[in-house]
A = this chain, B = another copy of it.
Amino acid sequence: MHRSRIGVVLIDHPRDRFESSAAFWALARGSTRRADGDEPVYDSLDPIGGGIMLELQRTGEGTPARVHLDIETDDVDAEIARLVAAGATVVERQAAYAVLRDPGGLVFCVVPVQTGRDFDAHATTWN
Protein backbone atom coordinates (compact mmCIF):
# COMPACT_ATOMS: atom_id res chain seq x y z
CA MET A 1 0.00 0.00 0.00
CA HIS A 2 1.38 3.42 -0.93
CA ARG A 3 0.17 6.93 -1.66
CA SER A 4 0.67 9.55 -4.40
CA ARG A 5 -0.71 12.79 -5.79
CA ILE A 6 0.15 15.54 -8.29
CA GLY A 7 2.23 17.59 -5.86
CA VAL A 8 4.28 20.01 -7.96
CA VAL A 9 3.60 22.10 -11.08
CA LEU A 10 6.89 23.15 -12.70
CA ILE A 11 7.33 25.94 -15.26
CA ASP A 12 10.56 25.16 -17.14
CA HIS A 13 12.66 27.53 -19.23
CA PRO A 14 16.20 27.32 -20.60
CA ARG A 15 18.63 29.43 -18.57
CA ASP A 16 18.90 32.20 -21.17
CA ARG A 17 15.16 32.85 -20.96
CA PHE A 18 14.72 32.01 -17.30
CA GLU A 19 15.06 35.41 -15.65
CA SER A 20 12.46 37.29 -17.70
CA SER A 21 10.01 34.40 -17.47
CA ALA A 22 10.51 33.90 -13.74
CA ALA A 23 10.00 37.63 -13.13
CA PHE A 24 6.79 37.41 -15.14
CA TRP A 25 5.36 34.45 -13.22
CA ALA A 26 6.18 36.07 -9.88
CA LEU A 27 4.18 39.12 -10.97
CA ALA A 28 1.43 36.99 -12.49
CA ARG A 29 1.01 35.16 -9.19
CA GLY A 30 1.73 38.12 -6.91
CA SER A 31 4.35 35.96 -5.23
CA THR A 32 7.91 36.42 -4.06
CA ARG A 33 10.57 34.10 -5.53
CA ARG A 34 12.68 31.96 -3.22
CA ALA A 35 15.83 30.52 -4.77
CA ASP A 36 17.32 27.24 -3.55
CA GLY A 37 20.98 27.92 -2.76
CA ASP A 38 23.58 30.04 -4.53
CA GLU A 39 23.41 28.47 -7.98
CA PRO A 40 19.83 27.32 -7.95
CA VAL A 41 18.04 25.14 -10.46
CA TYR A 42 14.64 25.94 -8.98
CA ASP A 43 12.95 29.08 -7.70
CA SER A 44 9.79 28.56 -5.64
CA LEU A 45 6.67 30.69 -5.87
CA ASP A 46 3.83 30.49 -3.34
CA PRO A 47 1.94 27.17 -3.51
CA ILE A 48 -1.28 26.97 -5.47
CA GLY A 49 -4.37 25.17 -4.14
CA GLY A 50 -4.03 22.27 -1.72
CA GLY A 51 -0.41 23.12 -1.00
CA ILE A 52 0.64 22.11 -4.53
CA MET A 53 4.10 23.60 -5.10
CA LEU A 54 4.70 25.98 -8.02
CA GLU A 55 8.35 25.80 -9.10
CA LEU A 56 10.30 27.65 -11.79
CA GLN A 57 13.05 25.46 -13.25
CA ARG A 58 16.17 26.40 -15.20
CA THR A 59 16.63 23.80 -17.92
CA GLY A 60 19.32 23.19 -20.52
CA GLU A 61 19.55 25.23 -23.72
CA GLY A 62 17.90 22.57 -25.86
CA THR A 63 14.78 22.14 -23.74
CA PRO A 64 11.81 24.18 -24.94
CA ALA A 65 9.73 26.20 -22.50
CA ARG A 66 7.20 23.85 -20.97
CA VAL A 67 5.11 22.98 -17.95
CA HIS A 68 5.62 19.57 -16.37
CA LEU A 69 3.98 17.79 -13.45
CA ASP A 70 5.62 15.93 -10.58
CA ILE A 71 3.75 13.08 -8.93
CA GLU A 72 4.93 12.89 -5.32
CA THR A 73 4.76 9.58 -3.49
CA ASP A 74 5.82 7.83 -0.29
CA ASP A 75 7.10 4.85 -2.35
CA VAL A 76 8.84 5.85 -5.58
CA ASP A 77 9.42 2.26 -6.77
CA ALA A 78 5.83 1.20 -6.15
CA GLU A 79 4.48 4.32 -7.83
CA ILE A 80 6.68 3.82 -10.91
CA ALA A 81 5.48 0.22 -11.16
CA ARG A 82 1.86 1.34 -10.85
CA LEU A 83 2.25 4.01 -13.55
CA VAL A 84 4.15 1.71 -15.93
CA ALA A 85 1.33 -0.82 -15.56
CA ALA A 86 -1.06 2.03 -16.50
CA GLY A 87 0.87 2.75 -19.72
CA ALA A 88 3.81 5.03 -18.85
CA THR A 89 7.44 4.50 -19.91
CA VAL A 90 10.50 5.16 -17.74
CA VAL A 91 12.89 7.58 -19.49
CA GLU A 92 15.47 7.97 -16.72
CA ARG A 93 15.75 6.44 -13.26
CA GLN A 94 17.82 8.35 -10.70
CA ALA A 95 18.44 7.28 -7.11
CA ALA A 96 15.69 9.47 -5.66
CA TYR A 97 13.30 10.09 -8.55
CA ALA A 98 12.41 9.10 -12.12
CA VAL A 99 11.48 10.79 -15.39
CA LEU A 100 8.63 9.10 -17.27
CA ARG A 101 6.54 9.65 -20.40
CA ASP A 102 2.81 9.10 -20.73
CA PRO A 103 1.53 7.04 -23.73
CA GLY A 104 1.40 10.25 -25.81
CA GLY A 105 5.02 11.16 -25.06
CA LEU A 106 4.42 13.77 -22.36
CA VAL A 107 7.22 14.02 -19.80
CA PHE A 108 6.45 13.96 -16.07
CA CYS A 109 8.36 12.93 -12.95
CA VAL A 110 7.83 10.67 -9.94
CA VAL A 111 9.46 12.18 -6.85
CA PRO A 112 9.52 11.59 -3.08
CA VAL A 113 7.02 13.48 -0.94
CA GLN A 114 7.60 17.25 -1.30
CA THR A 115 4.64 18.80 0.51
CA GLY A 116 4.54 17.15 3.96
CA ARG A 117 1.17 17.65 5.62
CA ASP A 118 -0.51 18.66 2.36
CA PHE A 119 0.56 15.30 0.93
CA ASP A 120 -0.95 13.52 3.94
CA ALA A 121 -4.16 15.51 3.56
CA HIS A 122 -4.66 15.09 -0.19
CA ALA A 123 -2.81 11.99 -1.46
CA THR A 124 -4.63 8.96 -2.85
CA THR A 125 -3.93 5.55 -1.30
CA TRP A 126 -3.29 2.65 -3.72
CA ASN A 127 -3.81 -0.96 -2.68
Which A positions have Cβ atoms within 8 angstroms of B?
A: 5-6, 9, 11, 13-14, 17-18, 20-21, 23-25, 27-30, 48-52, 54, 64-69, 71, 83, 86-88, 102-106, 118, 122, 124, 126
Contacts and interface: CB of A to CB of B under 8 A. Distances in A.
A102 B24 contact: yes
Main SS class of interface, A: mixed
B51 A102 contact: no
A51 B25 CA distance: 21
Nearest to A50: B49
Q: How many copies does the complex hold?
A: 2
Nearest to A47: B49
Given A20-B103, A65-B106, A103-B17, A124 B50 contact: no
A67 B24 CA distance: 18
Contacts of A24: 83, 86-88, 102-103
Given A24-B83, A29-B124, A52-B52, 4 more contacts: A5-B49, A11-B69, A25-B102, A27-B87
7 smallest CB-CB distances across A and B, nearest first, come from A49-B50, A21-B104, A17-B104, A20-B103, A27-B86, A65-B106, A67-B67
Nearest to A66: B66
